[in-house]
A and B are shown apart, each in its own frame.
Chain A
Amino acid sequence: MTDISPPKGRGALARREARLAWGLLFPTIAIVALVVIVPLLAIFWISFKPVTLGDLRPAEIRTRVALRDRGDQALLELRVINPSREQEMRNAALNVTLPEGVALTGDLPQGCAMDGQDLSCDFGTLEAGANERFRVDAQVTGDTREAERAMRDAEVKATGHVSNVLTNSTFTLDNFRQLFSGSEFWSVLGITLFYTVFGTLGALVVGLFAALLLNKSFRGQGILRGLYLFPYVAPVIAVAFTWITLFDPYSGSANALLVQMGVSEGAINFFGAKPLALIMVTVFEIWRYFPLSFLFILARMQSIDTDMYEAADMDGASPFQKFWYLSMPQLLGILSVLFLLRFIWTFNKFDDIFLLTGGNAGTRVLTVNVYEQAFAVSNIGAGAAVAVVIFACLLVFSGLFFRTMSREEGL
């Protein structure tokens, strides 16, 4: 009996196709891995390390070699400095060629040796902040001034190895302990959630309203649609500074208007007072991102089959009923996907709040906290710990997202 079932396993063609696919993907994978995966691993690594901003530049050995002529006796002076205040320096060494006519007559310091005119010294390990000075008697034949100048110009090769906090094996849990012990973390988390939830919901609702407005063809519809996208397209730095100007407590138009209309007595410090600042940055978030939800909802609306509405008209459905029972179920998919995606990205948002308030006046969200810890307090390790927390939240959210997404139609 001959086997007539289809061939099993992967044939040559399938393998060739897979090879081509990996070939096409390789450059992308490589570069994304380099700039996304490696930094992600690095941030985990750093979050367990006591790193501050100052540790980023490793200390280098400093040396000085000078020839001094004190009348009858010439001296060669060697100085070796370890500028690091915390770390010892291992394998400190220097190498210098003495000018012609200079000979050392005195005892060489320990670890030093002469080979012809070459002086090489090995100082072993230098203590943190060590500043050592050695003097050796020397004899100069010929012009002393000339020899001194030549000595000053001579090239000194010095090496010394300071262990780098980033790469050594010191680990600490202090960053996380410090993060979770303070009450600050929980207030930051609360502020982040407020900003994220209301910013996302607000942008969705306002976007839905705008989409309903433009979901009919009339003259100028294209212009209005373009206009309503402005807040999203303009550079964030431009619109953020415009808002600051507009709501400035002293010279802002918004305050002047409110005072004149009799709504408020004096100037309101919109971006500088609790809890108004948090509300304002949330409003800014809604203002800036409603165009995006508007665009997506409008695109979905325009793809809904009109037959359904005609049938509803025949059955006498009122406009509100048509919206609630026909449009909304059709839009639910895009709305939930938009909600989750916007939720994640609002959670990740840094620029807007950083530019508007710098995280002051009760608007410090997690992402701004990363920056504050790492650069304002210059404790990079603590900043990395916050970043790890953000990443953990993100994993939870994206798990939810993928579950919803596989249920809804793919976006």
Chain B
Amino acid sequence: MKILHKGYLTGPIIGALWALVMSVTLGVAISFATGAAAKPALIGSLILGLATGFARVRIANRWAADAVAVIVALALMAVGLGALQFDDSFNFVWRVALSVVLAGAVSIPLNSILRELRFGALTRHQFEDAVIRFLTGFGYIFFTAIVVIPFYVMVMTSMKSQQQLMLNPLDFSIDLSRGWHLFDSYYELMTQFHFGRYLWTSFYVSVLTVLLTLLFSVPGAYAVARLRFRGQKVFSRGILLIYMVPMIVLALPIYIAYSMVGLRNSILGIVMIYPVTTIPVALYMLQGYFRGLPVEVEEAGLMDGLSRLKVIWKITLPLALPAMASVGLYVFMIAWNEFLLAFMLLDDPSKFTLTRGIASLNSSEIPRQHLMAGAVIATVPIMALFLGLERFMTRGLTAGAVKG
């Protein structure tokens, strides 16, 4: 690594890597935006990045680096070695404009990535800071892309018609001129596929699950966290152990039992089983929270003559409200997203939950955009809830849930 601690090496190398990242990013973005080809090219990107990085450390002036980047990008384009290879659908003006955009995308961030580098020998700090700045920039682009692209594809596909989908899979644009017809798939799902009813079923099943889970887990968690009794240790470990039992192992006997007593195909059966899958999680999260509450407040209550149950009701529960909110939210998310049990236990379309309803759309007779519209319908409510209450949610998750 020591060899690299030279401005004239570090600058161009980071420059070249950054140019590669930018030309791929821009190429993908252009392809998705227009549906036409803009191939990132290895050689062109490397030359552009090397030149810009070199100029930045040599001249140590940001405008100089910008100018070099624009000139090199245009020159490369002119000789046909451009970092982005355009197909015929781009005219000359577009090519020039996009090359200048690319040059900017390479040089402007590069200016700040390489900002403290001199041409000669670098200290370890300068070198590592530059590498970290490069990785940070790359990280933001990488993570944002991998998260945003799938969700965008989901929404975009749901708003297309069958021919548009077949015509050009690369076209990521949404044709706004279709107006309300963009939502045709949603309309059909709501009217012909009873998704309104599935939404409602999912909603009340999830709410009931949250209520039942809290009802059972709050007293239990309090007992495990606060009261002394024999077997307390074993118990708190037992909770975690149960929390690790795979659902599919339990689903099989539950399926058999439900088939025999006739609880399959009933919402009652689902509402009975969901809370049990979430109670161990909730117990585990809540007992951690109860342990963190100061004992003194409760002891003060006991001294003043409240009974244990009154203490729980009047002191502990009000203090634990935020924790209950986060646990409730997390349980709601589990119940809303639950797929396996709904899939195994529900066969009757009039009793489907949303996830089961989407699973029934996965057939070759039903167009893809309907499936994606179903996915959007299931995702939007939970996302809205999550974004609105993100603070609770992250706290709920980190309070002890590593469950997937």
Interface residues of chain A, those whose CB is within 8 Å of chain B, are 14, 17-18, 20-22, 24-25, 27-29, 31-32, 34-36, 38-40, 42-43, 46, 56-57, 166, 209-210, 212-213, 222, 224-239, 241-243, 245-246, 248, 251-253, 255-257, 260-262, 287-289, 292, 295-296, 299, 318-320, 338, 341-342, 344-351, 354-355, 367, 370-371, 374, 380, 383-384, 387, 390-391, 394, 397-398, 401-402, 411
The reply to whether B379 and A46 form a contact with Cβ atoms under 8 Å apart is no
The reply to whether A370 and B27 form a contact with Cβ atoms under 8 Å apart is no
Taking CB atoms and an 8 Å cut-off, the chain B residues in 278-316 that contact chain A are 279-280, 283, 308-309
The reply to whether B169 and A36 form a contact with Cβ atoms under 8 Å apart is no
The reply to whether A31 and B228 form a contact with Cβ atoms under 8 Å apart is no
Number of A-B contacts (CB under 8 A): 282
The reply to whether A46 and B283 form a contact with Cβ atoms under 8 Å apart is no
Closest to A320 in B: B128
- Is B75 part of the binding interface, using a Cβ–Cβ cutoff of 8 Å? no
Closest to B401 in A: A292
Taking CB atoms and an 8 Å cut-off, the chain B residues in 149-180 that contact chain A are 149-151, 153-154, 157, 165-166, 168-170, 172
Enumerate chain B residues within 8 angstroms of A56, measured Cβ to Cβ: 256, 259-260
- Is B25 part of the binding interface, using a Cβ–Cβ cutoff of 8 Å? no
- Is B3 part of the binding interface, using a Cβ–Cβ cutoff of 8 Å? no
Closest to B282 in A: A28
The reply to whether B229 and A251 form a contact with Cβ atoms under 8 Å apart is no
Knowing A17-B229, A338-B402 touch, does A251 contact B249 (C-beta < 8 A)? Answer: no
Enumerate chain B residues within 8 angstroms of A18, measured Cβ to Cβ: 227-230
Kindly state the separation between the CA atoms of A342 and B401 in the bound complex, as whole angstroms.
11
A-B pairs with the 8 shortest C-beta distances?
A348-B246, A238-B375, A39-B253, A18-B229, A28-B220, A21-B227, A24-B219, A42-B253
Enumerate chain B residues within 8 angstroms of A229, measured Cβ to Cβ: 386, 390, 393-394
Enumerate chain B residues within 8 angstroms of A14, measured Cβ to Cβ: 228
- Is B322 part of the binding interface, using a Cβ–Cβ cutoff of 8 Å? no
Least distance between A48 CB and chain B CB atoms (Å):
14
The reply to whether B244 and A345 form a contact with Cβ atoms under 8 Å apart is yes
* Extra A-B contacts (20), CB below 8 Å, given A237-B375, A346-B404: A20-B227, A25-B219, A28-B216, A28-B219, A32-B242, A32-B276, A32-B279, A46-B252, A213-B143, A224-B140, A226-B386, A234-B151, A241-B375, A242-B154, A342-B404, A370-B249, A374-B252, A383-B252, A402-B237, A411-B402
Enumerate chain B residues within 8 angstroms of A390, measured Cβ to Cβ: 246, 248-249
Enumerate chain A residues within 8 angstroms of B33, measured Cβ to Cβ: none
Enumerate chain B residues within 8 angstroms of A411, measured Cβ to Cβ: 400, 402
- Is B61 part of the binding interface, using a Cβ–Cβ cutoff of 8 Å? no
Interface residues of chain B, those whose CB is within 8 Å of chain A, are 27-28, 31-32, 37, 39-40, 124-125, 128-129, 132, 136, 139-140, 143-144, 146-151, 153-154, 157, 165-166, 168-170, 172, 216-217, 219-220, 222-224, 227-230, 232, 235, 237, 240-242, 244-250, 252-254, 256-257, 259-260, 273, 275-276, 279-280, 283, 308-309, 333, 336-337, 339-340, 354-355, 358-359, 362, 368, 371-372, 374-376, 378-379, 382-383, 386-387, 390, 393-394, 397-398, 400, 402-404
